[in-house]
Amino acid sequence: MFVCVCNALKERDVREAARVVGKSCPKAAYAQLGCKVKCGQCLPFAREVLMDGRGA
């Protein structure tokens, strides 16, 4: 499932980035992936993914 449509980031991508940068900040995870937050619609879900590590 996509977390961020603007950057085409999937849950797995965000979680892998969080292993490097920590779980507190979706923006840092996106930066680790070479992306930036654009519309911001994804941030609540991105935080959820970072915090509970759910999904595939």
What is the nearest approach in angstroms of ligand FES to the Cβ of residue 2?
8
Pair 18, 50: CB distance under 8 Å: yes
What is the nearest approach in angstroms of ligand FES to the Cβ of residue 52?
19
> CA 40 to CA 56: how far, in whole Å?
22
Residues between 1 and 56 that touch ligand FES (CB under 6 A): 4-7, 37-42
Q: Which is nearer to ligand FES, 19 or 38 (by Cβ)?
A: 38
Give the binding site for ligand FES (CB under 6 A): 4-7, 37-42
